[in-house]
C-alpha cells in the first residue's frame, strides 16, 4: 500500500507538466535524430541557410542602387552614398596628413637607386596617417611628365622586382619600364607581404598568422582594414600629385585643379551605412576634369585589389588597370582572411565597385592570379567564364563607358601587365603611340634592406591601430554614454556627500536605438521571420529529482535550435516556475552542463534543477573548431556574425519556453560560461525577454581582449580568428553592451586564475557598469564574485543571485 501511495503521489506531482509519455514531452513531436548527430545537423543547416542568404543578397543588391534600374548609369544619389559606404567598410576613413614626399635613406644608403637615360629612380616615403608612411620607389623623368601612375605590385613582390632591378617579376610584366619610356612618372609603393609572422612567442606561432592577417585582425575590430591602409597610402600619393601639379601650374592660364583634401574640422566619417545622408558626403574627394596631367593606378594581385578599391573611392584617379584580381565575389568568404570585408556582398560585387569608377577608364586584365593556400582561405586564378560573367553584368546604355576586358584567345590568360593591357593603360593616360620599354635596371644602393622596409611597414600600421585601441574608451563614451546622458560629461569636482539618483526611464528609452544598432550593425541580423516551433522531443535522462528532454525547434528554413530541457519532479499542478538557461562554451554540448561531470561546468544545469529551477541548456554554434569560424566568415560578407544565428535561435527558444504551461515567462534568466559568458553579454542585451544575465569566465575589457597586441590574454595570440567584430572597438565594449541590460539584474563570475583575462581589466570594465547602475539607484541589481579558481562555474554567489532575483526560495 505504501509503495502504491508513493507512486500515486509522484504521478500527481508530474501532472503539472502533463508528462504522460515515456519518451516525448507532451505537445511535441517525435525527435528521431540522435544526440550524436544533432550538432552536425545544426551546423550543416546553418551553413546551408547562410549560403542561401549570400545568393539572395546578390539578387537583391539593386535595391541599394535605385539609379541603376535601367542599367549601370553613372551619377545619381545612390552612387555618392554607395561610394561613402564602400570607403567606410574598407576602413579608409581617417584624416590623412598634409601631402608631401621626401627622399628617404640613411647615411649608409644612397637615395638614388638608379639613373638611366632621361629618368632617375629614388627611394622615397610620404606621410599618410599619424606615424604611418608610404614607402617605395619614385621614377621621375628628366623632362616634364605627360602623366603620373601609381603601380602597385602584388603583396609578395617588391618595387625593385617590378622595375627589374632584382629577380622575381618576368620582364614582360614589368609595366613600369613601359611607362617610364613614355614619359610617365611612376610611384611604386610597398605592400604588407603575405609572409608568415616572425615571432618567438610559442602561442603566437600556433596561431599561424601571416603579416597581413596579423594587421587585419586588430584593425577589423577597430573599423579599419589592411585593405584600407593600402588604399590610404595610394590616396596620400594622389594628394601629393595634386598639390605638386597645382604648385607647378600656379602661374599657368590652364584651369587649376580643385583639390578637396578632407578638412580636419569636417565631421568624422559615418560609422555605419545607416548614418549616411547626402548632406554628410563632404568627405569625398574630386577634381575638375581635364585640369592637369592624368593620374592612373595599376596593380597586380593584391596590388590590383588596392588599385581597384582606391579608384572606386577617389574620383581624381583617371585610369585604372586591374590585373589578376577581378572576379565574381560570392565566394569571397573562402579567400584569404585579410580579404574579408564587412557586409561587402550586400551592396557590392566587383561590377558594382567598377560602377563607382566608370565612366573613368577601367581596364580589366584576365591574368594568372597569385596562388595563395592556407591563409585562412585560398585563392587561385578564377575560371574565365566567371570573370567574363561578372564583366557582362555591366549593363550600360552607352557602350563606350564599359570596362576594357583584356584576355587571351579562347579565354586564356595573358600578362600580368601584358603589352595589350599596358597599351590600353598608356592610351588612357594620353600616350597614343607607346615607345619600347627602357632597358632593365640594377640597384645602385649598397646598403638597402628590403626586409627592414617591410618590418617598418608592418610596425607602423600596428602602432596606428594600437593607438586606436588605447583611445577607444573615450570614443565609446562619446558614442553611447554621453549621447544618452550628456549631463554626465563634465569634469567638475563634487564635494557633495550624496548625489540624488537619476530617473532611468529616459536612459532606457534612449537605449532602444543603441540596442537596434548593436543588433543590426554590431552583431548583424537576418531579415527573416521565425518559423512555427514544430517542437520535437525525446527523454534522455531521469533521476529521482528531475527529467531531461532533448528539444529541437525550427528557426528558419534549414536552421534549427536544439537544447536540453530539465524539469524538476516536485512541480505542483498548475505551477509556473522560473527558468535558467544554462549555456556551454566553445566546443561544448548541452549535456556538458548537465551530467558529463566536466569540472568547468560542475553540472550546473542539474544542480539548479535540484534547487527547483527549470533549466534549459541550448546548443550554440561555436562547435567543431573551424566549421563555426567559416560560418562566421560567410555571415560577415552580408553584415552578420556567428551571433546572428545564435540570437535568432535564442529568440525562438524564449518564445517556445514562454508558451509552455509550466514556465513563468517573466522569470527566464541566462547563465553562461566562457563562450557562453560571451553569449551572456550579447543575447540578453538584445532579447529583453531574459530578465537577468550572469556572465561567467568571459567578462573583460573586450577591445583589449580582441585587438591589443601587448596583452598576453589577447585573442591576437590565439587560433580564434573569428573573434574580431567590425568596428566594435569604437561602439560596444562589455560596459556598453551591459548598459543595454538596464534596469535588469546582471552579474559577473570571475576566477582569479582564469587566464581568459586579468582581474584589473575585469574590474575596470565592471566598474563602469556599476557606476551607471548606481546613477539610477540600481546598485542592488548588480553583483560580481571573485573566487580563488579558474575558468569554471563557481555556483555560489551566482546561485544566490538567481534565487534572489528570480524570487525562488533557496533550499535549506
Mean pLDDT, the chain, whole residue set: 90
Instruction: Report the C-alpha gap between 404 and 358 in whole angstroms.
Output: 11
User: Are residues 134 and 108 in contact, defined by beta-carbon separation less than 8 angstroms?
Assistant: no
Grid coordinates belonging to 548: 531531461
Cβ atoms of 242 and 99 closer than 8 Å: yes
Of the candidates 562, 566, 591, the one whose C-alpha atom is nearest the C-alpha of residue 579 is 566
Whether the CB-CB separation of 599 and 691 falls below 8 Å is answered with no
pLDDT at 660: 98
What average pLDDT score do residues 279-297 get?
Answer: 56
Q: What is the pLDDT of residue 78?
A: 84
User: pLDDT-based confidence at 741, cuts 50/70/90?
Assistant: very high
Question: Which pLDDT does position 289 carry in this prediction?
Answer: 42
Cβ burial of 580 (10 Å; 0-12, 13-18, 19+) is: buried
Cβ-defined contacts of 529-534 (< 8 Å, 24+)? 530/555, 530/556, 530/648, 530/651, 530/652, 530/655, 531/555, 531/556, 531/557, 533/652, 533/655, 533/656, 533/659, 534/29
Once rounded to an integer, what is the mean pLDDT over residues 249-257?
45
Range with the poorest average pLDDT among 50-59, 251-260, 646-655: 251-260
Which residues make Cβ contacts (< 8 Å) with residue 574, sequence separation at least 6?
A: 16
Question: What pLDDT, in 10s, does the model give residues 53-95?
Answer: 999 999 999 899 886 655 555 556 789 999 999 999 999 999 9
DSSP string, 744-771: S-EEEEEETT-TTS-HHHHHHHHHHHHH
pLDDT of residue 266: 39
What pLDDT digit, counting tens, does each position of 448-469 carry? 899 999 999 999 999 999 999 9
Which among 743, 770, 779, 759 has a CA at the least distance from the CA of 699?
759
| Contact of 135 with 104, CB cutoff 8 Å | yes
Please state, in angstroms and rounded to a whole number, the distance separating the CA atoms of residues 227 and 335. Answer: 14
**What's the whole-number mean pLDDT along residues 667-678?**
98
Section 793-800 average pLDDT: 97
CA separation for the pair 405, 296 (Å, rounded): 17
pLDDT tens digits, 120-176: 999 999 999 999 999 999 999 999 999 999 999 999 999 999 999 999 999 999 999
pLDDT over threshold 80, residue 259: no
Amino acid at each position: 500500500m505504501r509503495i502504491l501511495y508513493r507512486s500515486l503521489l509522484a504521478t500527481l506531482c508530474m501532472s503539472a507538466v502533463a508528462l504522460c509519455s515515456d519518451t516525448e514531452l507532451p505537445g511535441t513531436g517525435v525527435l528521431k535524430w540522435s544526440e550524436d548527430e544533432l550538432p552536425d545537423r545544426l551546423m550543416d543547416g546553418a551553413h546551408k541557410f547562410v549560403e542561401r542568404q549570400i545568393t539572395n543578397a546578390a539578387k537583391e543588391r539593386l535595391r541599394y542602387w535605385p539609379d541603376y534600374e535601367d542599367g549601370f548609369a553613372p551619377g545619381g544619389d545612390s552612387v555618392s552614398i554607395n561610394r561613402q559606404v564602400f570607403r567606410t567598410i574598407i576602413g579608409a576613413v581617417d584624416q590623412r596628413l598634409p601631402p608631401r614626399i621626401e627622399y628617404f635613406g640613411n647615411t649608409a644608403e644612397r637615395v638614388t637607386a638608379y639613373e638611366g637615360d632621361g629618368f632617375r629612380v629614388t627611394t622615397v616615403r610620404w606621410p599618410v596617417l599619424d606615424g604611418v608612411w608610404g614607402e617605395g620607389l619614385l621614377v621621375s623623368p628628366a623632362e616634364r611628365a605627360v602623366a603620373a601612375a601609381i603601380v602597385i605590385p602584388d603583396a609578395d613582390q617588391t618595387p625593385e622586382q617590378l622595375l627589374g632591378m632584382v629577380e622575381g617579376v618576368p620582364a614582360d610584366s614589368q609595366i613600369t619600364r613601359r611607362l617610364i619610356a613614355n614619359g610617365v612618372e611612376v610611384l611604386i609603393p610597398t605592400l604588407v607581404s603575405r609572409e608568415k609572422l616572425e615571432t618567438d612567442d610559442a602561442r603566437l606561432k600556433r596561431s599561424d598568422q601571416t603579416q597581413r592577417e596579423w594587421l587585419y585582425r586588430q584593425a577589423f575590430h577597430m573599423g579599419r582594414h589592411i585593405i584600407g591602409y593600402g588604399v590610404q597610402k595610394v590616396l596620400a600619393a594622389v594628394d601629393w600629385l595634386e598639390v605638386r601639379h597645382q604648385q607647378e601650374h600656379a602661374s599657368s592660364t590652364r584651369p587649376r585643379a580643385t583639390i578637396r583634401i578632407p578638412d580636419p574640422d569636417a565631421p568624422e566619417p559615418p560609422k555605419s551605412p545607416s548614418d549616411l545622408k547626402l548632406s554628410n558626403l563632404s568627405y569625398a574627394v574630386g577634381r575638375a576634369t581635364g585640369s592637369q596631367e592624368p593620374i592612373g593606378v595599376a596593380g597586380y594581385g593584391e596590388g590590383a585589389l588596392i588599385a581597384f578599391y582606391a579608384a572606386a573611392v577617389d574620383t581624381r584617379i583617371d585610369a585604372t588597370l586591374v590585373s589578376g584580381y577581378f572576379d565574381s565575389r560570392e565566394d569571397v568568404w573562402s579567400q584569404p582572411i585579410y580579404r574579408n570585408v564587412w557586409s561587402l556582398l550586400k551592396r557590392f560585387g566587383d561590377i558594382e565597385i567598377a560602377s563607382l569608377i566608370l565612366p573613368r577608364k577601367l581596364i580589366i586584365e584576365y591574368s594568372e592570379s597569385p596562388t595563395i593556400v592556407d591563409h585562412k582561405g585560398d585563392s587561385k586564378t578564377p575560371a574565365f567564364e566567371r570573370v567574363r560573367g561578372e564583366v557582362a553584368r555591366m549593363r550600360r546604355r552607352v557602350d563606350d563607358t564599359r570596362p576594357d576586358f583584356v584576355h587571351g584567345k579562347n579565354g586564356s590568360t595573358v600578362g600580368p601587365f601584358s603589352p595589350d593591357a599596358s597599351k590600353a593603360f598608356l592610351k588612357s593616360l594620353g600616350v597614343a603611340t607607346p615607345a619600347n620599354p627602357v632597358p632593365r635596371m640594377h640597384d645602385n644602393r649598397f646598403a638597402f634592406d628590403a626586409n627592414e622596409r617591410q618590418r617598418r611597414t608592418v610596425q607602423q600600421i600596428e602602432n596606428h591601430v594600437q593607438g586606436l585601441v588605447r583611445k577607444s574608451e573615450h570614443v565609446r563614451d562619446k558614442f553611447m554614454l554621453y549621447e544618452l546622458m550628456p549631463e554626465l560629461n563634465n569634469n567638475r569636482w563634487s564635494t557633495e556627500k550624496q548625489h540624488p539618483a537619476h530617473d532611468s526611464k529616459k536612459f532606457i528609452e534612449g537605449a532602444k536605438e543603441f540596442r537596434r544598432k548593436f543588433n543590426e550593425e554590431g552583431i548583424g541580423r537576418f531579415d527573416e521571420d521565425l518559423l512555427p516551433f514544430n517542437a520535437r522531443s525525446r527523454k534522455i535522462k531521469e533521476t529521482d529529482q528531475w527529467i531531461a528532454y532533448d528539444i529541437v525547434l525550427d528557426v528558419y528554413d534549414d536552421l534549427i535550435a536544439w537544447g536540453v530541457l530539465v524539469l524538476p519532479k516536485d512541480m505542483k499542478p498548475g505551477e509556473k516556475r522560473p527558468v535558467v538557461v544554462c549555456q556551454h562554451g566553445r566546443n561544448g554540448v548541452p549535456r556538458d552542463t548537465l551530467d558529463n561531470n566536466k569540472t568547468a561546468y560542475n553540472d550546473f544545469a542539474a544542480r539548479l534543477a535540484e534547487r527547483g529551477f527549470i533549466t534549459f541548456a541550448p546548443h550554440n554554434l561555436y562547435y567543431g573548431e573551424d566549421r563555426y569560424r567559416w560560418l562566421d566568415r560567410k555571415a560577415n560578407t552580408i553584415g552578420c556574425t556567428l551571433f546572428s544565428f545564435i540570437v535568432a535561435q535564442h529568440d525562438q527558444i524564449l518564445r517556445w519556453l514562454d508558451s509552455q504551461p509550466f514556465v513563468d515567462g517573466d522569470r527566464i534568466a541566462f547563465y553562461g560560461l566562457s563562450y557562453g559568458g560571451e553569449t551572456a553579454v550579447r543575447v540578453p542585451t538584445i532579447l529583453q525577454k531574459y530578465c537577468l544575465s550572469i556572465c561567467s569566465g568571459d567578462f573583460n575589457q573586450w577591445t583589449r581582449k580582441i585587438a591589443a597586441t601587448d596583452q598576453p590574454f589577447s585573442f591576437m595570440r590565439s587560433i580564434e580568428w573569428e573573434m574580431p567584430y567590425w568596428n566594435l572597438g569604437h561602439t560596444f565594449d562589455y560596459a556598453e553592451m551591459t548598459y543595454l541590460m538596464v534596469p535588469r539584474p546582471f552579474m559577473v563570475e570571475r576566477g582569479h586564475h582564469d587566464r581568459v583575462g586579468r582581474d584589473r581589466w575585469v574590474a575596470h570594465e565592471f566598474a563602469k557598469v556599476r557606476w551607471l547602475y548606481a546613477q539610477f539607484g540600481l546598485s542592488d541589481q548588480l553583483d560580481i564574485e571573485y573566487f580563488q579558481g579558474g575558468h569554471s562555474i563557481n555556483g555560489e554567489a551566482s546561485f544566490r543571485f538567481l534565487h534572489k532575483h528570480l524570487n525562488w526560495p533557496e533550499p535549506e
